[in-house]
Structure 1
Amino acid sequence: MNYIALMNEVIDYIEENLNTAINIDELANRFCVSKYYFIRIFKAVTNYTVKEYVDKRRITEAAKELIKNKKNIIDIAFEFGYESHETFTRQFKRIFSITPMELKKKGAIIFGYEKIIIVERDFKNLNKDLVVDFQVVHEKELKLLGKMTQFDPSNEQSIAELTPFVESFVSDYIEKRNICRMYNVVMNQNEISQFGYFTAFKYQDNIQEVDLGEMVIQETTYAVFKYRADLGEIHRTVMNDICRTIVISDLSFNKIGIEFFLVFEEDYFETNEYTIYVPVKK
């Protein structure tokens, strides 16, 4: 079964029917899948339950209507399938931490939940569940040379600013030295919102760069994942995939000073494929 194609059809159907009642039995029947498998596939591919996805998309679209239209709150609530003002307000505040009235008065900017982008990747059955495909490997100590910056993983603009940082490193170092493999290391620097992002290549004795820093990643075991898309666009899906897979696989994250690192081979611009190494322990 092509899970990606199926879920793309399901998401399109949900998006076209956000203002009507949607339930799992109806969806499973419509797409000719048993309810049991439908629940597993939807959760694995989207990292949401059907109810979570529908609730967040419905309330996001309702919030947009509140901001741009002069309709009464109750009318918008009814339009999106809510039975009462109270139910709508309770759900709204649960997701956005403000009430519909507060949003309407202040015209606040909210970061809602847009239509999900279904990321193409492979899956496998594990412990009676469906998870994104991965391998467990053991790697020796890794010594890198590179440059460090910081970013806020909860801020889309901050994540977007990593792209020119990496592109500059590729231009200044990777291309000039014909280096075949680039590493991007993500680490939590014990700050609430700031993470470190170290873009690098493997240490070589014959390369001396006074403006580059060194990093040593200790020998350890990794869960290894492959993706074929711009990480900046799919980072939420990737992080949810990793967390869910680690839990289901009975592994645990190994705190060795980094969260994970990405490896980009020289054919990345042709394949759009990269590998993510997450330190784990059994």
Structure 2
Amino acid sequence: MLERLNRALEHIEAHLDERLDIGEAARIAVTSEYHFRRLFSALAGMPLSEYVRRRRLTLAGAEVLAGERTLLEIAVRYGYTSGEAFARAFRAVHGVGPGAARQTGAALYSQPRMSFRLIVEGSSSMQYRIVRKDAFHVVGKKARVPLVHEGVNPAIAEFVRGIARETTDRIKALSDQDPDGIVAVTDDLDPSRAEGTELDYYHGVVTGTRVHVPEDLDTLTVPAGTWAVFENSGPYPQALQYLWRDIYTQWFPSNPYQSRPGPEILRVRPSADGSTADAALWIPVEPTAP
């Protein structure tokens, strides 16, 4: 898997100055574009779109200092439709505009070319199960919140605190299948999964599609599909966030599955003081091509 990912990165590197087709890079990695973007983000610690932008502006910076092309020619070469757009992007990465950089020979920032290597650390095995579920509903209360990679998400915490106990009890009573009880469901995430991008968050339960849903509750219809279910226990929420990271950096590269579009479902059973928790994380998956 890592060998295919590195070939895909070589393709990206060879086409930074052209109309880059991420779909072709995903095909080289023998995976879907959706999974390729998510896997890259987990392994690299940054969205694929951000890496491409930084690499393009790194190469553009070298051409700006070389002075062999006009600034507009360089802008077009690296995919910018105007000199103004190029200048804004250039300044955001290098801290100085391209014109000033050329005139003064300013020191510029560089995004190194990336490759992936497997490091065997002897970590403990990861427990998981594969579940095939018929179509179901997620029923509860929904909010649009920003993505936070580490620590408690303040927007989610405030949203959940604002749900009345009576409403939570009514929602919980609708639970009729695994994962049982109140769950946290995230859906409609930005493909980049960049910090601060928004997602739909449901505080709700999983129910059958024939359950009557009260009008004051929100419903997410989820088609039938396959899920990989991972369970862990530890400090909350750190252990859970590390679990998500390990799924993408260890489990996916080692197993014949890839992520597919769909909501992620989290069931948490916190300790009395809330410092630790038992968690089960449901990730929508599909088999990879043979």
- Higher relative contact order structure (alpha carbons within 8 Å, sequence separation ≥ 6): 2
TM-score, length basis structure 1: 0.45
Q: TM-score, normalised by structure 2?
A: 0.44
